[in-house]
Amino acid sequence: MATEYSGDVVTWANEQAQLLRSGSFSALDVERRLAVEIEDVGNGVQRDFASRVTMLLAQLLKWRYMPERRGDSWKATLGLMRGIVARRLQKTSSLKHVLADTDAIQDMWNDALLQAAEVMYVGMASLPSKCPWSMGQALSEEFYPD
């Protein structure tokens, strides 16, 4: 065994999992990589969650500023995104802190502005610099900003 992490990360990860399952803790790559990789799993889940919220905020921006394009498909997209975010929160309740973190919300908003401004053909200066909706509003199935 003992595949180097830098050589083949997939084989390395599978070997580490096998060592954990068999109780061979002394053979684990604890010193160099295992702790970092475990932390990266959590960070990846958080990044994915933030990305989903960002997409939802961008879609809400388009809904708000492009009323002529509103339709059933946009409504369905908002419902789908809200459902994905809600399921992530249900499965991983520790993600709730992201929705309460003003810095994280601002980062997601800034990314949403970039996404939406590209599609809407408007300058960033014409859009709100801070999210005008609470996260509760954004996630609410009844909320459609006018």
Output the six-digit token pair for 123.
């300058």
- Average of per-residue pLDDT across 12-24: 92
Enumerate the domain spans of the chain: 43-139
CA atoms of 48 and 82, how far apart (whole Å):
14
Could you report the per-residue pLDDT of 101-120, keeping only the tens digit for each? 999 999 999 999 999 998 88
**Residue type, position 49, single letter:** F
Q: What is the dihedral of CA 106, 126, 54, 72, to 10 degrees?
A: 150
- Confidence grade of residue 123 (pLDDT, cut at 50, 70, 90): confident
CA atoms of 41 and 129, how far apart (whole Å):
31
Angle subtended by helix axes 102-120 and 35-65, to nearest 10: 50
Output the six-digit token pair for 139.
């996630």
Is residue 120 within 8 A of residue 66, CB to CB? The reply is: yes
**In the block, residue with structure tokens 């006018």:** 146
34 DSSP assignment: I
Query: Considering only 9-18, 75-84, 88-97, 109-118, which range has the smallest mean pLDDT?
Result: 9-18
CA atoms of 115 and 138, how far apart (whole Å):
17
**Over 70: is that where the pLDDT of 1 sits?**
no
Could you report the per-residue pLDDT of 48-81, keeping only the tens digit for each? 999 999 999 999 999 999 999 999 999 999 999 9
